[in-house]
Amino acid sequence: HGAVRHGISLRRVAATADEVELCAAGGAAINQVCIANDLGLKVFDLALDIPTGDITEEAALDERGCAATMAFGMEAVAGGADLLCLGDLGVGNSTIAAALCAALFGGNGVDWV
């Protein structure tokens, strides 16, 4: 997330890639939840090497990037799904999730942290 340049997280930016790799390898907590409940899990690396915009100054994604990301998601579930749970992962994710919740459901970002 581009906003991490403001020091919103104490973790290093590269920790995001580490977390994605851990999930993909089956070693994260979410993997254990899925195993315990006989659920499948798919983890997608959506261009981690290309930072998004800083939401304090601009949109995180331009129109083309947003459309491409949505198309990727549609393709990922094209075969069908019994249950779809979306999550976030990585450095700065709580700030971005709070901003999205505030924009979609009201309130301020701090209300959603």
**pLDDT 10s per residue in the chain (113 long)?**
888 888 888 888 888 889 999 999 999 999 999 999 999 888 887 888 888 999 999 999 999 999 999 999 999 899 898 888 877 888 888 899 999 999 999 999 899 98
90: CB partners within 8 A, 6+ apart:
1, 15, 16, 19, 20, 48
Structural domain count, the chain? 1
To the question of pTM greater than 0.85 for the whole model, the response is no
> What domain range is 55 assigned to?
2-112
Outline where 11-77 has alpha helix (H): 15-24, 29-36, 63-76
Where is 41: in which H helix or E strand? none
Q: Which amino acid makes up residue 16?
A: T
